[in-house]
Amino acid sequence: MALYQENDLRIYNSLTRKKESFEALNAPHLGLYVCGPTVYNDVHLGNCRTFISFDLVYRYLTHLGYKVRYVRNITDAGHLENDADEGEDKISQRARLEKLEPMEIVQKYTLGFHQIMEKFNAHPPTIEPTATGHIVEQIQMIEKILEAGLAYEVNGSVYFDVAKYNQSNDYGKLSGRKIEELISGTRELDAQSEKRNPLDFAIWKKAAPSHIQRWQSPWSEGFPGWHLECSVMSTKYLGPTFDIHGGGMDLKFPHHECEIAQNKASQGSEGVRYWMHGNMLTLNGQRMSKSTGNTLLPLELFTGNTEKLEKGFHPTVVRFFMMQAHYGSQLDFSNEALLAAEKGYHKLMDAWQKLQNAQAGSNGEFSVSEWRQRCYAAMNDDFNSPVLIAHLFEAVRFINSAEGAQLALNAKDLELLRQTFHDFLFDVLGLEEISESQGGEKLDQVMQVLIELRAQARADRDFALSDAIRDKLAAAGVALKDGKDGTTYTLEN
């Protein structure tokens, strides 16, 4: 019997606003779709948390024995994401800024995104489709929505008719918003607007002369609406109805709401059975914002090259820190919290090392089978990783309580403890083993000599030499950080 048949997995479904027992549509096969990044800039930590959260979901579902088709898209088409239907899209803006072609921007930041996800030890999706690779399918879905009478064309652009759709459907059911409240919260359309209703959204937009990315369609030379691509790619690879759709909480409205409407209008089915949404990140108790400067990029986090941290943190420590909060709860990044997570991580790994060398003894009070059940119960409760980690630390305390290498377990229970600890630590949580000190005593001594030589060069105003020391160390993967208490170093990962 497969593990998924032995475990009652319950998932909080954003659509019904309650936890529900999960039943795959076609077990052991399972379809999972997660909204991917728009690749116009370096991936930010908020996105990273979402993708790491759903990596945990993917890992646990796979651990249970499901054959998961995990689809995560790349948004490489320049959309007007705020539905204002005006201005310039972000990919075009970045292309003009960097004096590159849009697809050079896409390639650059897609590669960067993959590199960051690899550092976090996140599994790649089984399919990673792109918006520009599915223009034909998006045009076909628009045609179906028009045939259903739920969209209209104006001057080469096509808009979804929300009011008409709502006559026989519930637009707002996912986010819990009522269409009357949504209408009262919008501003009046001006004389230049092509929309019949302020809630209507573009599913095809005629390109302005300045818009770089454009494709031919039956209506105009233009580009598809942002919401359309996920409706198309999720149903193309997972079928008209599939198991789980995930994304950040900020996408619930309007993006995911519009997906439901597009799916229902084009194929008569809402598509998704279980909606899951990850929560946001804050930094030092404040919302992350580029405008206020309260931001932190993954590489800054790894290297410590920021005033917000006293040192860099290994990606697996950061991953462990994220796992200490439930994916649906808000998580605050701070230097103190990361330091505490680092200590906790090393306690786990130290216990794992002791467990490798442990020997069986006589049975004691620690019941491995009951502990194992608690670990599964935690993950079965909507992927509750913080409770799972608490149970792992129960085992850590038991392992550390042993006198010498002998544990109060018989050989069978010792092997079960090793296997279960390994499965949840590495396969499910996705952690990696690193040494307590990334450098070691000898490296610390060598670095101290180089730091002192650089300090002397600066004191002698030999800035060429001091800069050369810094740059050569950076090229070798060693980042120096000057602070009020002196110079420290971190190893880039």
Residue closest to 341 by CA, chosen among 297, 385, 399, 405: 385
Per-residue confidence (pLDDT) for residue 491, from 0 to 100: 66
Instruction: State whether residue 205 is helix, strand or coil.
Output: strand
Q: What is the CATH number of domain 288-428?
A: 1.10.730.10
String of b and e for 465-485 (b: at least 16 CB within 10 Å)?
ebeebbeebeeeebbbbeeee
Percent of the chain scoring above 70 in pLDDT: 92
For 322-342, how does the pLDDT look when each residue is reduced to its tens digit (9 = 90+)? 999 999 999 999 999 999 999
Q: Which helix (H) or strand (E) holds 341?
A: helix 335-357
Of 5-9, 23-27, 85-89, 193-197, give the lowest mean pLDDT range.
85-89
Query: CA Rg, the chain, in Å?
Result: 26
Spatial contact of 57 and 276, defined as CB atoms under 8 Å apart = yes
- The one-letter code for the residue type at 265 is A
Residue written as token pair 């392992």:
399
- How do residues 406-463 score in pLDDT, each as one tens digit? 999 999 999 999 999 999 999 999 999 996 544 445 566 677 778 888 887 888 788 8
CB neighbour list of residue 272: distance below 8 Å, 6 or more residues apart:
15, 33, 234, 241, 242, 244, 245, 259, 260, 263
Among candidates 398, 96, 30, which has minimal Cα distance to 243? 30
Residue 47 contacts residue 98 (beta carbons within 8 Å):
no
Cα separation, 247 vs 269, in Å, equals: 20
Average pLDDT value over all residues in the chain: 91
**Annotated domain spans of the chain:** 3-278, 288-428, 441-491
Residue 191 is predicted with a pLDDT of: 54
Mean pLDDT of 289-302: 83
pLDDT of res. 425: 98
Nearest by Cα to 160 from 144, 174, 136, 137:
144
Q: What CA dihedral angle connects 447, 450, 456 and 461, to 10 degrees?
A: -120
Residue closest to 278 by CA, chosen among 318, 328, 330: 328
> What mean pLDDT do residues 285-290 have?
79
- How high is the pLDDT of residue 439? 46
Amino acid at 309: L
**Secondary structure string (H, E, C) spanning 281-330:** EEECCEECECCCCECCCHHHHHHCCCCCCCCCCCHHHHHHHHHCCCCCCC
Whole-structure pTM over 0.95, yes or no?
Answer: no
- CB atoms near residue 156 (< 10 Å): 16
Q: By the 8 A CB rule, do 152 and 247 touch?
A: no
| % of the chain surpassing 90 pLDDT | 74
Tokens encoding 234: 């999720």
pLDDT for residue 145: 98
Residue pair 243/9 in contact (Cβ under 8 Å)? The answer is no
Q: Which residues contact 231 (CB under 8 A, 6 or more apart)?
A: 141, 259, 262, 263, 266, 271
Give the pLDDT of residue 213.
92
Residue with tokens 């809402």: 270
Confidence of residue 486 (pLDDT cuts 50, 70, 90): confident
CA distance 127 to 121: 17
Report pLDDT digits (tens) over 233-254.
999 999 999 999 999 999 999 9
Whether 466 contacts 459, CB under 8 Å? no
Task: Name the pLDDT band for 203 (thresholds 50, 70, 90).
Answer: very high
Six token digits for residue 365: 């009070």
Task: Give just the sign of the alpha carbon dihedral 112, 118, 120, 125.
Answer: positive
Please answer whether residues 231 and 266 qualify as being in contact, where contact means their C-beta atoms are separated by less than 8 angstroms.
yes
In this predicted model, what pLDDT tens digit does every residue of 29-44 receive, in sequence order? 999 999 999 999 999 8
Rounded mean pLDDT, 304-333? 96
DSSP 251: G
pLDDT digits (tens, 9 = 90+) for 350-403: 999 999 999 998 888 899 999 999 999 999 999 999 999 999 999 999 999 987
Average pLDDT on 103-113 reads 96
Contact between residue 281 and residue 333 where contact means Cβ atoms under 8 Å apart: yes
Residue 88 has pLDDT above 80, yes or no: no
Q: Does domain 3-278 have CATH number 3.40.50.620?
A: yes
Rounded distance, CA 416 to CA 371, Å?
Answer: 11
DSSP string, 408-450: SS-HHHHHHHHHHHHIIIIIIS------SSSS-HHHHHHHHHH
